[in-house]
Structures are given as C-alpha cells and as structure tokens.
Amino acid sequence: MSEISDKKVFVTREHIIPDAIAHLKQFFDVAVWEERSAPPREVMLQKAQENDAIITEITDLVDKELLDKAPRLKIVANRAVGMDNIDIDEATKHGVLVSNTPGVLHESCADFTFGLMLSVARNITYGDRQIHAGEWKMFDQIPYLGTDVHGTTLGIVGMGLIGTAVARRARAFDMKVLYFSRTRRPEVEDQLGVEWKPDLDSVLSESDFVSLHVPLTAETEHIIGARELDLMQPHAFLINTTRGPTIDAGALYLALKAGTIKGAALDVTDPEPIPIDDPLLTLPNIVISPHIASASSSTIKKMGMLTAQNVIGALSGTQMPSCLNPEASKGA
C-alpha cells in the first residue's frame, strides 16, 4: 500500500496504542475516541455504521445489534487474546473478520502470574498495606509469616501459550506441575516434565497453587465455584489472570473468609472495575490488581502493532497475522 485509501478505521482508545494509530494513519482515514474511558454504546453503534474497521478493547461489546448496523464493516480487531466481548459467530454471519493478538503477551502474563503468586503467598502486598496504614510499629515478622513457593505443587488449568510459559518458570522454583487442559500437550509434558490430569478435580485437590489460564466461554464461566473451592487444600492459593467470571466471586469470598483456601490473587474481577464496597476488598488474604498482566510497555506496543497489521491485512486484501474467522471474508 503506497497511498492513503478512502477506508475508515475507528480506534476505541487513543492513549493505549499511539504507535499503531500513527502507523495506520499512513494508509487509512483514522478516527479515535479521545477519552480514556470506553466509548458509550451509542457512539459504538454510530461508528460501526461509518467505518470499515474498528479496533476494540475487551470492554467494547460487539454483538448482533452492532453488527446489524454495520453494513460496511469488514474487520473488528480486538487488542487482546480473549474474545468474550465479541460474538464471533454473529460476525461471521455478517461477513466481518475478527482478529486478536496471540503470541505477543504470554511471557509478560507468565511473569505477572508469578508476581501474584509470590505476592499473596509471601504477604508482600499485605505487608505493604500495613506499612502505608501505619501499622508497622516494631520489628516482628510473625504477623507476616508466608508460604514458600519453591518446591510446592502448581496446578495449571489451561495449557496454552500462557500456561506453558508459567510452567516453564515453575521449573526455576523447583515446582511439581500438574495441568488440566481441553487439549493434552504431550510435547509440553516431554519438554517441561509437567503431568497431565484427566480431570479438573485432581488438579484442584493435589495442588498448593492453582493458576487459571482458560478463555472465558460458556463452559468456563464459573469453572471455579463453591464445589471446586471445597476440593482445594486449606493451605492452597488460587491465582487468576484470565477473566473475572471464570470464578464465582461470591463463593470465593466465602471460601477465603472461612479458610477453605488460604488465599487468592486476582488480576481480573467480576465486574471490572471491582466496586469499592465489594466484600472481597475487606479480606486480608487476597491480592487484586487492575487487569494489568499484559501491561508491560513492550508488550502493549507489540499488541497494538499486531492489531494494526490485522487491520491492514483485512482492508488491503492481504494476509492477516491472526484472523479467527477467515471464512467471513467479504474481500477488500
């Protein structure tokens, strides 16, 4: 592509991917939502009518109503791996291509998973909160006694790119790794020495740490509820960097309060942002971060550029790096 075409692209956040936006402006008529918050629904519906491409964040809903109002739309490019905000089947029926950003954020997310694990197990965040609250008044380590991570058993639920990257890091901590996944991964078992379990219950009951790495689907919504938490050991910790609704938040609160499990660390909540009066925030044995597992400066830039490449591919009729429904192509 050597000149700017008449195709129009709408980006739902200006401040997140400036490099990608600048790149796209070399080829297309690009409009951006300048607020840091998500565009209101009426703006999304209007922009869907007016544009050939929309770059979305995970809080931007793309459903049948929007697609019905989008006769010229050719691609929805999601700046994420998870796709629960987009009705891909409906997009395919409307001839709209859908893309995501795999293969660029798994290492950052794996780093963050271990950050959460260490923080909740070793009371790093709790200690920090106590200091800021003026409660550290003498040298006394006993109120902050934590749990070692090294040499324990890690259960991974979902052995995709992120789960595999987490398992690789676990080797450095001399951890035994169990996993349950929709698809068994013999090559990962051979390479990393992880052990496959044919059912989720076994992973939950045998692990000291359980880390979730599954997409949010109808099958995985509340994959961890009261029953599953009861299966976990009382000294165990639950880690979640996937999507908030994979855990029943009410059941988690009760389990943490009763000591059914020892602690939890969440990068995702249901809803997001978590309300300040949510009972989970009253508990000392939980760490919550604001959905930032992939938010390293390097990874955010890579995700933005991959999203831009998907848009360029769709609108120019060339190959898209990560199209999820190529059968939907309307042509360029």
Per-residue pLDDT, 137: 96
The domain locations on the chain are: 8-104+296-328, 106-288
* Candidate list 79, 106, 185, 291, residue with the active-site label: 291
Structure tokens, 233: 């050991």
Is 224 in contact with 252 (CB distance < 8 Å)?
Answer: yes
Fold of the domain built from segment(s) 106-288 = Rossmann fold (3.40.50)
Active site residue 272: yes
**Residue 156 to residue 184: CA distance in whole angstroms:** 12
Per-residue pLDDT, 331: 43
Per-residue pLDDT, 329: 81
Question: What does pTM read for this prediction?
Answer: 0.94
* Candidate list 35, 50, 135, 272, residue with the active-site label: 272
Per-residue pLDDT, 5: 85
Fold of the domain built from segment(s) 8-104+296-328 = Rossmann fold (3.40.50)
Residue whose C-alpha is closest to residue 162's, from 59, 91, 255, 268: 268
Active site residue 184: no
Q: How does strand 8-11 pair with strand 29-32?
A: parallel
Indicate if 106-288 has the same CATH topology as 8-104+296-328. yes
Per-residue pLDDT 10s for the chain (332 aa) are 556 689 999 999 999 999 999 999 999 999 999 999 999 999 999 999 999 999 999 999 999 999 999 999 999 999 999 999 999 999 999 999 999 999 999 999 999 999 999 999 999 999 999 999 999 999 999 999 999 999 999 999 999 999 999 999 999 999 999 999 999 999 999 999 999 999 999 999 999 999 999 999 999 999 999 999 999 999 999 999 999 999 999 999 999 999 999 999 999 999 999 999 999 999 999 999 999 999 999 999 999 999 999 999 999 999 999 999 999 985 44
* Candidate list 206, 235, 243, 327, residue with the active-site label: 243
Active site residue 291: yes
Question: If you search the block for the tokens 């848009």, which residue do you land on?
Answer: 311
Q: Which long-range contacts (CB under 8 A, 24 or more apart) does 150-154 make?
A: 150/174, 150/175, 151/175, 152/176, 152/208, 152/209, 153/177, 153/178, 153/206, 153/207, 153/208, 153/209, 154/178, 154/207, 154/208, 154/209, 154/210, 154/211
